[in-house]
Structure 1
Amino acid sequence: MDGSWPLSEKPAASAIHSSSPGGPQPVPIGRGHGGVVTSATAAPHAATEPPVPSSPAPAAPRWSRPALLAILALAAGLYCWNLSGSGLNSFYSAAVLSGTESWKAWFFGSLDAGNFLTVDKPPFALMVMGLSCRLFGYGTWQMMLPLIAAALATIWILHASVRRVWGHGAATVAALVLALTPITVAINRDNNPDTLLVFLMVAGAALGLRAVRTGRLLPLLGSAVCFGLAFNTKMLQGYIALPAVFLVYVCATDLGWTKRVRNLALAAVALAVSSFWWAAAVSLVPASERPYIGGSTDGTAWDLITGYNGLGRIFGGEGNMGGGGGGGGGGFSGAAGIGRMFNDVLGGQISWLLPFAGIAFVGGLVLCGRAPRTDLTRAALVLWGGWTVLHYVTFALAEGTMHPYYTTALAPGIAALCGGGGVMLLRAFRSDRRWVWVLPLALGVTGVWAVVLLRRASGWNTWLWPAVAVVMALAIAGLLLFRSGRRARLLAVSVAAAVVAAVAGPAAYAWSVPSGSGGGMGGTNPTAGPSTGGGMGGPGGGAGGPGGGGGRGGFPGGAGGEAPGGQPGGGQVGPGAGSLPDGADAGELPDDAGTGEQPGGADAGELPGGGAGGFGGGPGGGGMGGGGMGGASTELVAYLKKHQDGAKWLLAVSSSQSAAQLVLDSGEPVISMWGWSGSDNAMTLARLKELVGKGELHYVQVGGAGMGGGGLGGGSGVASEVTRWVQEHGTAVEASAYGDTSQSTSDDGADNTSSVYRLDPADVE
């Protein structure tokens, strides 16, 4: 690589030849289908000039492959270091365990192996993790292996896609930015489905761009299948970037309209089949022979698609937590609004390079000028810029549940724009005096914003923000000083310094996750970096894994016998631990979190699990650390297993998080009657009587704050009816029967005892 073109291979000589003596040099901005496109060839008068001959692609510089391998190794270290000690999401851990014990549970995504209720997501991510655990045994590493592989593959695919358009330097920057995005590191160490979702969407986008570049049908079909599988990972979120791919294919491919329409029709068929095969299969199974679909209002997959995992995420309702005050929106990420990505909760997770990406996107489009319709550089800009804009607007304005880790889907678009758009700005900076100010401005804004974010974390790495400010200022000065002349090496050093200053803040946040030096939590609501802002840290903290004292001992293949969720009790909290969403008073949850009672039956002012007033989880009770979601004592679990008497389910509890922890600790199926949000209608009195009458269920927990919080459901009439019937017909299990000597009252004298009732077929009238 010629030192005069840092961050990119040297363009062909014909691309940098001046269009007129003494005039400004054309700015090389990328490659079209016919060769390198420049600001001169993209201008209106370009048609009168001789065509630019195609030149062979330059050989890869010697540093390119080692740089990519180093970035992949860095990412692998961030994703894997101390992984066994990280708290996973017990909700998904339990579903994966159930899938290893029942193929039916594996297919439906059931929370329990008895197949009473599914999780509130489609099962594709659970299927992938479940197959890994069936092959290698159940444990943290076995569960996370396919997700970590997908995370690394995402970096590789993005690098390859950016390299084909902008060159090796741009691809290296894009890969580095993606690898060091804080929230991406946090979620890639967790068993939530977002890691697989991002991999599938990036693969779909890259294949779509390849279809534009080659004109072939197969990459377009592959793109459609990837987005369809993304849909089966998190439903409508998997479609957010799809309009950008569609727009680019329609506008930028050099195929005629007939072939374009034909190819898009075939791709639509592939998308429909790969998206709806699971929902269609569920519909073909009678409701009596399949589990209730968690998150739905009627037990069907179609309702889950359109409601809880569809429009409910955008407008709130449908079981989604809404309104935190201010502009409303999911309280986990602050109030909804166009500036949400920059608030105290999300700013340090995703926004470090958003300003630079935005400037690079707009600047790149201007540099493309009036390039041919099929210009590949502009197509790539529209694709990754559209990806970023669509995700930004969706997440910023979402009124439903909005966890910080959702924003990891923004990272690939930001990374691609920083790499590709950044190289375009650098070339323009060197070649055209009219563009001298743009790159320094973009870097200056990036440096200032990094300082703002670092200063938000009071007392955390206080040396870092002055270092970032000084290095960025020196880098910008070096760019301006060494822009012209034969001081290319010094210019390259300045560019490298600017890159280091830009990624130093996100790198520090990212490193805090495996090192445990931040305040973010794992499991239910993983975040990176120190605790800042007013978001609430997820229901109860989510310890996540099987194991803990009183569990099933070591799991096959686990690291040192340790099962997922090695942090007992999930004592970590999310951003702003102990504080509330904007506008919420102390002791309140965000609006619409429940009617009368909160999910899982906790009274107003409590989280599921009985944590009055505060947010985040403390150590779980007994030996079954529930991450604050409520834990039963090991004595009670042993008692229930001893007196299970052949029942299919060990116990019925109010919420999915409570049931999940019990599934992991007991190894037995446990019924979640009201789902994750407490709004599922899975259990009715008739259904309960049926289960008790058949001897499939003997124990039901109601009241108090023990196993996941208190009463049943969200205060609905059905829940009250079930509660009354259990109390009237069941026999309460006294604590002395299983030797529980824990306190039954809180410091203020309130009764926190959960009541477990025994029901037998004779109790059913």
Structure 2
Amino acid sequence: MATIPVTREPATHRRRSSRRATPRQGSRPAWELPALLLVLTLATVLYTWGIGHASIHPFYSAAVRSMSTSWRAFLYGGLDPGGSITVDKIPGALWPQAASVWLFGPHNWAVALPQVIEGLLTVWMLYRIVRAWAGQLAGLLAALVLTLTPVTVVLTRNTIPDTLLTLLLVLAAGSLQKAARTGRLLPLLVCGVWVGLAFQAKMLQAWLVLPVFAVVHLLGAPGSVVRRGLQVLAGGITALAVSCSWLLLVWVTPAADRPYLDGTTNNNPFTLVFGYNGLSRFGKDPSALGAVSGTAASRTTGNTGWTMLVNHTVGPQIAWLLPLAVMAAVLGVVWRKGQPRTDALRAGYLLWGGWLAVHAVVFSSSNGNHGYYTAVFAPALAALAGGGLAVFRSAYEEGGARRAVLPVAIGLTAVWAAILDSGHTAFAAWLLPVPVLLGLCGALGLWSSGPRTSERAVRAAFATGVAAVLTAPAVWAVSSLDPLYAGASTSPLAGPVGSSYLSMLHHGSGGYVGLHTPSARDAALLGYLTAHRDGAQYLLATQAAYSAEPLLRATSQPMLVMGGFTGVTPFPTVEQLSDLVSAGRLRYALLTTARPSTPDTAWVTAHCTRIPPSAFGRTSAGSFTLYDCGAARR
């Protein structure tokens, strides 16, 4: 972001008193910096509390451990240090985590540290962007709302790619805002770069903002329509080029010189992105463009449809301020009617309102979503909430018919919070009436104030209203510091929702996933394999990533992951597997009944010898069976 411009208020908004005049250019009121530092401190505490035992994703963290020890695995996103097969995503979001583990060692806090930094940067950048758009109060409120959004807190304490995606898209929005305000091309090209980097974090989801960005620039930027159109085209080409850079690198690299691409039947990077992680998640063709059909391990079928944002599970993660945000988006545009085409305030409402609307439509139309996917909604909701409260307060001070909007917005949002929380009365039972009571106090205080009401009383009523709309999300956000209310490492959710919460509630701890800390059972298996490896290149072959994950997190030895994440990716072929065994490059294979049988697993059971569990310190085989393929050498 460039130097923060002067804070501008709508021309129709008049300050109640000269004591509250807008600060001159370059100045900051005395309260702004301490308030910002307080918000950032709060975010730091929420994001780092107990980071030594951070919830790390078992699949991604296994890849991160491998990527931290091998440049080949790092570049291509190899699941094992040998780089035989990739993760089923573009590895961009894992690069910061792998770099952190390489620098600090295989610790949980080292994997989580980049997420914390990304989360804090998102809060700070959103403050700057909203401040430049709607003023100091709006910027601070937006930062506070984002900090206290439950899904933001729980996800920043995890190692899932959405935190980096959100940061990069916020940076893109800031560049787009500057381009639309100045009419310059360079900020729009920078916006394209940020979107392209966001694509490296989570592929096609990064492109959802592009139609909104294009419309905002075409409608709101200065200059002729031809100039604006050419600028949008240039920005789009930049976004496409940066987005496809990794895909093109992989595409031109001979297949023999890189890992096999998980999730594909044809080892094609475009299938990985546009098929397996794209079209197959919409419609009825699970094998679109040559993708591997998703399994229960790789697909979710819930949290979709037009009520997705407000259902029992997702609503408490993200939707607490949804009524306020919608009111702000609609009224922010309507109230700017008659202003010049380049009106920056209206452009901001179009930007954040469009961001919210497009994501809602796309997510509602997909085959299913994890609840944490909605973290990308948080910046738009926070910006609209902060901007809305600021502009509604200005309208309140101006007087007239619009004066009623502020107390109505606060009261409606407080009631909505009670509705969202009403399905969870067993959790923080005291919480249900608090937003309503605070909201009523704040709304009535604002509604009943008159010309003789002191400025201090008005501020107190407004502060009470802000507290009303933030109390419920704050409680849910803070609850995620307790592992009981943090969801699963594979699907983090705040509060008493989700299958992980129910499992922990009835069966105790959900287990601890750590780097370099194998369980006694896994340590015994690794010790046996190391002692009997007999010079093989691979420590063992595993059936699917599910079998390999705990071992890859514990050691940096190469492993052949047959079938990838789903277990059904056609790698390696039976011939390749047989050749590896014949050449003495592979001796052991670990199969599991938790994944479907494949030609590879059939070959193992037909040609290899089953090893009794007692040989490597287990009393029973459970769902895993170890085979010795040494006798299968030709």
Q: Fold match, TM over 0.5?
A: yes
Answer whether contact 1:125 1:196 (CA < 8 A) is retained.
yes
Which residue identity does 2:147 align to in structure 1? A
Partner of 1:582: none
Instruction: Supply the distance in 1 between the matched residues of 2:323 and 2:607 (Cα, whole angstroms).
Output: 63
Partner of 1:757: 627
Answer whether contact 2:518 2:550 (CA < 8 A) is retained.
yes
Cα distance 1:323–1:85, how it changes in 2: closer, same or farther (>3 A)? closer
Aligned to 2:487, the other structure's residue is in SS state coil
Cα distance 1:691–1:510, how it changes in 2: closer, same or farther (>3 A)? same
Q: CA deviation at 1:418?
A: 0.3
| Superposed counterparts of 1:115-264, under 5 Å | 115-264=83-232
Partner of 1:672: 561
Answer whether contact 2:518 2:554 (CA < 8 A) is retained.
no
Paired residue for 2:398, among 405, 420, 431?
Answer: 431
Partner of 1:701: 590
Answer whether contact 2:410 2:468 (CA < 8 A) is retained.
no
Does residue 738 (structure 1) correspond to residue 616 (structure 2)? The answer is: yes
| Superposed counterparts of 1:322-471, under 5 Å | 330-331=300-301, 333-334=302-303, 336-400=304-368, 402-471=369-438
Cα distance 1:407–1:455, how it changes in 2: closer, same or farther (>3 A)? same
Instruction: Supply the distance in 2 between the matched residues of 1:323 and 1:639 (Cα, whole angstroms).
Output: 32
Cα distance 1:320–1:726, how it changes in 2: closer, same or farther (>3 A)? closer
Aligned to 1:757, the other structure's residue is in SS state strand
Answer whether contact 1:635 1:739 (CA < 8 A) is retained.
yes
Instruction: Supply the distance in 1 between the matched residues of 2:328 and 2:39 (Cα, whole angstroms).
Output: 23
Answer whether contact 1:321 1:330 (CA < 8 A) is retained.
no
Answer whether contact 1:655 1:673 (CA < 8 A) is retained.
yes
Instruction: Supply the distance in 1 between the matched residues of 2:189 and 2:253 (Cα, whole angstroms).
Output: 29
Cα distance 1:693–1:224, how it changes in 2: closer, same or farther (>3 A)? same
Does residue 472 (structure 1) correspond to residue 361 (structure 2)? The answer is: no
Answer whether contact 1:163 1:171 (CA < 8 A) is retained.
yes
Per-residue displacement from partner, 1:193-246 (whole Å, max 9, x unpaired)?
111110000000110111111222221111100000000111001111121111
Does residue 727 (structure 1) correspond to residue 605 (structure 2)? The answer is: yes
Instruction: Supply the distance in 2 between the matched residues of 1:152 and 1:666 (Cα, whole angstroms).
Output: 31
Instruction: Supply the distance in 2 between the matched residues of 1:620 and 1:234 (Cα, whole angstroms).
Output: 26
Cα distance 1:524–1:10, how it changes in 2: closer, same or farther (>3 A)? closer
Instruction: Supply the distance in 1 between the matched residues of 2:295 and 2:566 (Cα, whole angstroms).
Output: 12
Instruction: Supply the distance in 1 between the matched residues of 2:549 and 2:624 (Cα, whole angstroms).
Output: 17
The share of aligned pairs that are identical, in percent, is 35
Cα distance 1:15–1:429, how it changes in 2: closer, same or farther (>3 A)? closer
Answer whether contact 2:9 2:135 (CA < 8 A) is retained.
no
Which residue identity does 2:111 align to in structure 1? M
Aligned to 2:312, the other structure's residue is in SS state coil
Partner of 1:608: none
Paired residue for 2:478, among 494, 511, 526?
Answer: 511
Partner of 2:494: 528
Q: CA deviation at 1:425?
A: 2.1
Aligned residue pairs total 617
Instruction: Supply the distance in 2 between the matched residues of 1:615 and 1:92 (Cα, whole angstroms).
Output: 26
Answer whether contact 1:225 1:270 (CA < 8 A) is retained.
yes
Aligned to 1:647, the other structure's residue is in SS state coil
Instruction: Supply the distance in 2 between the matched residues of 1:239 and 1:158 (Cα, whole angstroms).
Output: 19
Aligned to 2:101, the other structure's residue is in SS state helix
Which residue identity does 2:160 align to in structure 1? N
Aligned to 2:223, the other structure's residue is in SS state coil
| Superposed counterparts of 1:648-663, under 5 Å | 648-663=537-552
Partner of 2:526: 637
Instruction: Supply the distance in 2 between the matched residues of 1:645 and 1:620 (Cα, whole angstroms).
Output: 32
Which residue identity does 2:311 align to in structure 1? N
Q: CA deviation at 1:305?
A: 1.3
Q: CA deviation at 1:9?
A: 7.3
Per-residue displacement from partner, 1:517-575 (whole Å, max 9, x unpaired)?
x43324211111123xxx5x4xxxxxxxxxxxxxxxxxxxxxxxxxxxxxxxxxxx25x
Partner of 1:591: none
Partner of 2:19: none
Cα distance 1:367–1:150, how it changes in 2: closer, same or farther (>3 A)? same
Instruction: Supply the distance in 2 between the matched residues of 1:418 and 1:497 (Cα, whole angstroms).
Output: 16
State TM-score, norm by structure 1: 0.76
Larger displacement relative to structure 2 (456-465 or 117-126)? 456-465
Partner of 1:270: 238
Q: CA deviation at 1:132?
A: 2.5
Instruction: Supply the distance in 1 between the matched residues of 2:355 and 2:57 (Cα, whole angstroms).
Output: 28
Answer whether contact 1:88 1:522 (CA < 8 A) is retained.
no
Instruction: Supply the distance in 2 between the matched residues of 1:95 and 1:155 (Cα, whole angstroms).
Output: 28
Larger displacement relative to structure 2 (58-67 or 347-356)? 58-67
Aligned to 2:432, the other structure's residue is in SS state helix
Answer whether contact 1:116 1:292 (CA < 8 A) is retained.
yes
Larger displacement relative to structure 2 (491-500 or 55-64)? 55-64
Per-residue displacement from partner, 1:285-323 (whole Å, max 9, x unpaired)?
111221111222322210011112212233363457699
Q: CA deviation at 1:753?
A: 4.7
Q: CA deviation at 1:377?
A: 0.4
Aligned to 2:590, the other structure's residue is in SS state strand
Which residue identity does 1:471 align to in structure 2? L
Per-residue displacement from partner, 1:465-514 (whole Å, max 9, x unpaired)?
22222111111100101154452221111111111111111111111122
Q: CA deviation at 1:72?
A: 0.7
Which residue identity does 2:602 align to in structure 1? R
Partner of 1:293: 261
Answer whether contact 2:134 2:390 (CA < 8 A) is retained.
yes
Aligned to 2:485, the other structure's residue is in SS state coil
Which residue identity does 1:422 align to in structure 2? L
Paired residue for 2:64, among 86, 96, 110?
Answer: 96
Instruction: Supply the distance in 2 between the matched residues of 1:501 and 1:17 (Cα, whole angstroms).
Output: 26
| Superposed counterparts of 1:20-169, under 5 Å | 57=25, 59-169=27-137
Answer whether contact 1:9 1:61 (CA < 8 A) is retained.
no
Consecutive unaligned residues in structure 1, runs of 5 or more = 1-7, 19-24, 26-35, 37-54, 538-572, 580-613, 745-751
Instruction: Supply the distance in 1 between the matched residues of 2:468 and 2:274 (Cα, whole angstroms).
Output: 44
Per-residue displacement from partner, 1:376-428 (whole Å, max 9, x unpaired)?
0010100011111111222222214x111111000000000001122222222
Per-residue displacement from partner, 1:580-639 (whole Å, max 9, x unpaired)?
xxxxxxxxxxxxxxxxxxxxxxxxxxxxxxxxxx99985489x99999xxx954322211
Instruction: Supply the distance in 1 between the matched residues of 2:610 and 2:296 (Cα, whole angstroms).
Output: 39
Indicate the structure with greater helix content: 2
Per-residue displacement from partner, 1:119-147 (whole Å, max 9, x unpaired)?
11111121222222323333223333332
Answer whether contact 2:55 2:157 (CA < 8 A) is retained.
no
Answer whether contact 1:633 1:740 (CA < 8 A) is retained.
no
Partner of 1:487: 454
Instruction: Supply the distance in 1 between the matched residues of 2:351 and 2:138 (Cα, whole angstroms).
Output: 16
Instruction: Supply the distance in 2 between the matched residues of 1:667 and 1:615 (Cα, whole angstroms).
Output: 33
Instruction: Supply the distance in 2 between the matched residues of 1:364 and 1:146 (Cα, whole angstroms).
Output: 35
State TM-score, norm by structure 2: 0.91
Instruction: Supply the distance in 2 between the matched residues of 1:409 and 1:739 (Cα, whole angstroms).
Output: 46
Answer whether contact 2:544 2:565 (CA < 8 A) is retained.
yes
